[in-house]
Amino acid sequence: MGVPFDPPKNLFAFLIYSSRVSELINALAMQESLRENGWFREIAALLPEGDAAWAFKRPLEDAGILVVPVPQIALPPSMQVGFTLSHWGLVMTKFVIFNMTGYSQICILDADMIFDGLRFGVRPQTIFSECAEFCAVLDLQPLWGQEAYRSESTIMMINGGIMVARPSKRRFQHLMQALKEETRVFILPEQLFISFYLAQPENNIQSKFLDLRWNVLDSTLDVFLNHYMDVYSKAHLLPLCDIDAEGGCDGLSRSSLIWQKFLYRASTCFSIRRWESCVEDEGCSWCGHYCAGRFVPCSAQVFSGSAPLRGLLGYDANYGYNTAQYTTTTTTTSTGSTTSSSSRTTRTSSTATSTSSSTSSTTSTSTSTSTTTSTGTSTTSGTSTSTTTVRSTTTSTSTTTSTETSTTTTTSTISSSTTATTTTTSTSLGTTSETQQAQLWRQVTLSGELNMVVPNASAFVNDPAAKQGIAKSLANISGVDVSEVSVTFSLGTRRLSVRQLQSQSVIVDYTIKVYSPSATSYGDEIKGKIKAVPLAELGAQILKNVAAVSGTTYTITVAGITAEAMVDGEVVTSSGSMKALPPTPEVGGSIRVAGSSSSLLGLPLAWLGGLVACALLAE
């Protein structure tokens, strides 16, 4: 009969790094969509060795996903700066698929994708028959990195959201050498790097562009794979709806409903709307505003209804991204007499460092546009250069006398003030008046201690699972994302009786951060939650969460808890015509036994400047 035929061993995989809960939730929905559309072989989660994403191992395995440890592949030194490093630090690890030679072909996906091709007769495995040594989808509208993208006219940039490769150790070694020698700075590191690599003939790699429907960002189109990376279509940010109730999902797009459908099938806990029903199910855990699987960490951002940091990104629904400039928010107070109808659209942005003072006078006459005489004195201080464009249509003559005082604040803590007197003769028709309203957000920092008695304290403080378990417990109590909680351990002693017997204790210093327009009340709310939790309940939750990720069982007694909040720092965001939403809340909190220490965490200018690319954050 001869040798049995061994069919190709293909694999769908995704990379998860960092502690962003949205990555885990997206992955659960994505794998369910692959299963329901006909993929019954392995789906793998690639977790970099030593990364915080290993906290997601249990829920991934519970979903039937193969967890594969892979070595970390760091960015080249030229890209280890600013936002590129903080958000894309391990994204080059995607290329480890070239070294996984136990498979014939591997398709690596971004977690924020949903397969929906079966209604067109296309199954997930179809992609493997369409590929050469390497294939991906052409990025028709790259958002960022345009200057680097255009530096060679022959370069066509792929979108790194889906890539299919035939593993080869030789190819992997060649890629790693090219990465080591890379000196350019890419805002979208992996897809610009591989795009340049593909364009160089000497690399001799057979590549092919896939049908665009394999990676579509526009949810209104017929697609095989929905990619939820657009700033206004992050599926994991939209509130969960009740698909069984009449009108329970009104207002959600079809693609968002599809995503929620697959998430509910991945875990029925997400479909539960009330906390009473959630806590009755031993397999579920209540996260403040939604129900999740028992071993899925809670997050304050997911299903919150707003995109994190969107108000700081320079995104305008009408104009898209402006990566060279940060959008400013302007509030204007006007006084005076007006005898004309005027309408204008103003776009102001700042990019450079300057200090200037100027006086100008301009006169122009036109029967079809406008006649304007203006005299103004402006003073700008900080790190900004502002440009203003005024568009109007004029058909008659009238007089306007006004005094305007405006204050402009950019996301890079730029401030400027302008006082001007303007005499305008104009009447505007057919234009739209856009008003930007400023909203003030303040930073809240809570910090403190949790005192516990643990018999084997030394082993406990050296167990990484202990930090993960305590951070998750504090996040659950506070109703924040576990990534917002930072935890450090130290050893102490505790008196056990009047005979001065001493036992080793564990002191946990922790900090939580949030931003909120009502910072004081929000800080008090979080502080109240922490102080209200019974110590026995807190101890039981810590014990459960530590045991979930550790092979060691500890005896834990929580001795005390305190909480304090401090408000500091201001961020102004815009809303209204630009549809900009506020930044992600970060809550500050602390648990203490005796005494209290607060750490004030400021918002550095460089960090704000690095937010140019933040719109792609899962949270």
Split at pLDDT 50, 70, 90, the class of 463 is: confident
- Residue 164 to residue 192: CA distance in whole angstroms: 16
Other CB atoms closer than 10 Å to residue 70's CB: what's the count?
22
Is there a domain that residue 19 lies in?
yes
- Residue 13 to residue 527: CA distance in whole angstroms: 41
Beta-carbon contacts of 282 under 8 Å, excluding residues fewer than 6 positions away, are 294
Task: Tell whether 459 and 561 lie within a shared domain.
Answer: yes
Write a three-state SS string for 414-428. CEEEEEEEEEEECCE
Beta-carbon contacts of 499 under 8 Å, excluding residues fewer than 6 positions away, are none
Task: Tell whether 88 and 209 lie within a shared domain.
Answer: yes
Last residue of a domain, one of 200, 227, 254: 227
Structure-token pair, residue 206: 């057979």
- Residue 195 to residue 138: CA distance in whole angstroms: 10
What pLDDT score was predicted for residue 121? 86
Task: Tell whether 81 and 126 lie within a shared domain.
Answer: yes
Residue 608: pLDDT over 70: no
Half-sphere exposure for 66 (CA within 13 Å, toward CB): 10
Between residues 219 and 248, the one the model is more confident about: 248
Report which of 220, 216, 225, 14 is spatially closest to residue 127, judged by C-alpha positions: 225
pLDDT in tens, 157-213: 888 899 999 999 999 999 999 999 999 888 889 989 999 999 899 999 999 888 888
Task: Tell whether 22 and 92 lie within a shared domain.
Answer: yes
Other CB atoms closer than 10 Å to residue 121's CB: what's the count?
7
Task: Tell whether 400 and 446 lie within a shared domain.
Answer: no
Last residue of a domain, one of 407, 434, 461: 434
Task: Tell whether 336 and 428 lie within a shared domain.
Answer: yes
Over pLDDT 90: what percentage of the chain?
Answer: 28
Phi, psi torsion values for 24, nearest 5 degrees:
-65, -50
Task: Tell whether 453 and 587 lie within a shared domain.
Answer: yes
- Residue 393 to residue 427: CA distance in whole angstroms: 7
Phi, psi torsion values for 372, nearest 5 degrees:
-130, 130
CA 173 to chain centroid: 32
Is there a domain that residue 556 lies in?
yes
Residue 502: pLDDT over 50: no
Residue 504: pLDDT over 90: no
Phi, psi torsion values for 280, nearest 5 degrees:
-70, -25
Over pLDDT 70: what percentage of the chain?
Answer: 60
Beta-carbon contacts of 402 under 8 Å, excluding residues fewer than 6 positions away, are 334, 335, 336, 338, 421, 422, 424
Residue 225: pLDDT over 90: no
CA 176 to chain centroid: 28
Lowest mean pLDDT among 57-61, 87-91, 605-609: 605-609
Split at pLDDT 50, 70, 90, the class of 128 is: very high
Between residues 342 and 534, the one the model is more confident about: 534
- pTM score of the predicted model: 0.53
Helix runs in 418-499, H state only: 457-461, 464-478
Is there a domain that residue 612 lies in?
no
* Number of folded domains that form the chain: 3
- Residue 79 to residue 188: CA distance in whole angstroms: 10
Q: What is the DSSP track for 126-193?
A: HHHHT--SEEEEE-SS--S-HHHHTTSTT--PEEEEEEEE---HHHHHHHHHHHHH-----SSHHHHH
Helices 464-478/535-549 angle, 10° precision: 130
- Structural domain range at position 595: 440-600
Last residue of a domain, one of 227, 258, 281: 227
Phi, psi torsion values for 474, nearest 5 degrees:
-65, -35
pLDDT in tens, 88-97: 899 999 999 9
Contact between 454 and 505 under an 8 Å Cβ cutoff? The reply is: yes
Other CB atoms closer than 10 Å to residue 407's CB: what's the count?
15
Phi, psi torsion values for 191, nearest 5 degrees:
-80, -30
- Residue 135 to residue 119: CA distance in whole angstroms: 23
What pLDDT score was predicted for residue 401? 36
Based on DSSP, count helices (H) and strands (E) in the chain, helices before strands. Answer: 14, 25
Split at pLDDT 50, 70, 90, the class of 233 is: low
3-class state of residue 449 by DSSP? strand
Lowest mean pLDDT among 126-130, 215-219, 285-289, 377-381: 377-381
Is there a domain that residue 312 lies in?
no
Task: Tell whether 111 and 196 lie within a shared domain.
Answer: yes
Is there a domain that residue 379 lies in?
yes
Half-sphere exposure for 28 (CA within 13 Å, toward CB): 28
Is there a domain that residue 245 lies in?
no
Between residues 472 and 523, the one the model is more confident about: 472
Is there a domain that residue 263 lies in?
no
Looking up tokens 């296309």 gives 122
Split at pLDDT 50, 70, 90, the class of 267 is: very high
Lowest mean pLDDT among 7-16, 257-266, 375-384: 375-384
The average pLDDT across 289-293 equals 94
Helices 189-199/169-181 angle, 10° precision: 110
What pLDDT score was predicted for residue 493? 55
Beta-carbon contacts of 1 under 8 Å, excluding residues fewer than 6 positions away, are none
The average pLDDT across 497-517 equals 66
What pLDDT score was predicted for residue 518? 62
CA 408 to chain centroid: 26
Task: Tell whether 470 and 364 lie within a shared domain.
Answer: no
Residue 70: pLDDT over 80: yes
Q: What is the DSSP track for 283-295?
A: TEEE-SSSEEETT
pLDDT in tens, 387-436: 333 333 333 333 333 333 333 333 333 333 333 333 333 333 333 333 33
Q: What is the CATH number of the domain that holds 222?
A: 3.90.550.10
Is there a domain that residue 25 lies in?
yes
Split at pLDDT 50, 70, 90, the class of 354 is: very low
Task: Tell whether 415 and 444 lie within a shared domain.
Answer: no
Split at pLDDT 50, 70, 90, the class of 43 is: very high
Residue 228: pLDDT over 50: yes
Other CB atoms closer than 10 Å to residue 568's CB: what's the count?
15
Residue 404 CB-density burial (10 A; 0-12 exposed, 13-18 middle, 19+ buried): middle
Task: Tell whether 528 and 576 lie within a shared domain.
Answer: yes
Task: Tell whether 445 and 592 lie within a shared domain.
Answer: yes
What is the average pLDDT value for the chain, to the nearest integer? 69
